[in-house]
């Protein structure tokens, strides 16, 4: 039987207090990894994730940090590494989509904030953990992008730019580290049913409009993303690096063209 086995691995999941991050943290723990649960706000939610993991027999601890601050990221890595005995797996999941506004009507400060969290945050985390992975002779960095690294999204130019940038960062970092036994991969979720988009899937009209954009005709679940992340973090994916795995129910194959152009 082939199983995803992360026994003995230590994983840091950013933005793990809820949504996709929570599912990733719990799933990686179920595969055997020890987990550093990062959060920016919501300590109570992060501690709930820790309790869920420890209640299932795993090991986890919560850590707070502002990922847009390189000094805070450095402290986070030191604390998490000390608590777990190292970091073998880094999942850069934390992010925000920002306020919807077309270019010219937007606030540059909001644009910069999205890039600071969605692009600079993963960069700070990766460059901080990388020397430790190189010294250990192994490591996996998984960057959570979005289908919007490929698909434009009116009013969200900062988000789409950050995710496209994170995709190219993934490829470049993979190129730089492939000969050091470190893999760097991106996962691009499609429309996933999480609390952040509850207003969409709770409205029948909005939900139908969204489902029509997905070839499989439904939203994905956080566990469906987390399962792919666990696979990519494992040795089962030992020959995968420098690419984006889309987990989107077929959104990127444009179902509106199913019956002709």
**Catalytic annotation, residues:** 159
Q: In what order do the strands lie in the sheet with 182-189?
A: 60-64, 34-39, 10-13, 89-92, 139-144, 182-189, 244-247
In a 3-state reduction of DSSP, which class is residue 224? helix
Q: Contact at 8 Å (CB) between 149 and 25?
A: no
DSSP string, 165-223: HHHHHHHHHHHHHGGGTEEEEEEEE-SB--GGGHHHHTSHHHHHHHHTTSTTSS-B-HH
Q: What angle do CA 166, 170, 176 make, to 5 degrees?
A: 140
Q: How far apart are the C-alpha atoms of 38 and 12, rounded to whole Å?
A: 7
Q: How far apart are the C-alpha atoms of 146 and 91, rounded to whole Å?
A: 14
CB-based contacts of 224, cutoff 8 Å, min separation 6: 192, 247
Phi, psi (degrees; rounded to nearest 5) at 185: -135, 150
């Amino acid at each position: 039987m082939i199983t995803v086995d992360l026994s003995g691995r230590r994983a840091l999941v950013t933005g793990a207090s809820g949504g996709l991050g929570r599912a990733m943290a719990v799933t990686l723990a179920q595969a055997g990894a020890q987990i550093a649960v990062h959060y920016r706000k919501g300590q109570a939610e992060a501690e709930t994730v820790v309790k869920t993991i420890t209640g299932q027999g795993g090991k986890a601890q919560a850590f707070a940090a502002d990922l847009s601050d390189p000094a805070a990221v450095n402290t986070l890595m030191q604390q998490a590494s000390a608590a777990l005995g190292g970091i073998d797996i880094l999942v850069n999941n934390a992010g925000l989509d920002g306020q919807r506004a077309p270019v010219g009507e937007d606030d540059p400060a909001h644009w910069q904030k999205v890039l600071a969290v969605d692009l600079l945050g993963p960069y700070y985390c990766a460059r901080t953990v990388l020397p430790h992975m190189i010294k250990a002779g192994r490591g996996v960095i998984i960057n959570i992008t979005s289908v919007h690294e490929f698909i434009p999204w009116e009013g969200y130019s900062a988000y789409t730019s950050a995710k496209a940038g994170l995709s190219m960062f993934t490829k470049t970092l993979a190129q730089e580290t492939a000969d050091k036994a470190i893999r760097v991969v991106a996962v691009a979720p499609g429309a996933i049913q999480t609390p952040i988009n509850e207003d969409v899937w709770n409205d029948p009209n909005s939900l139908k409009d969204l489902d029509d954009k997905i070839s499989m005709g439904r939203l994905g679940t956080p566990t469906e993303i987390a399962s792919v992340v666990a696979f990519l973090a494992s040795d089962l994916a030992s020959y995968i690096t420098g690419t984006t795995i889309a987990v989107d129910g077929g959104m990127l194959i444009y179902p509106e063209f199913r019956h002709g152009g």
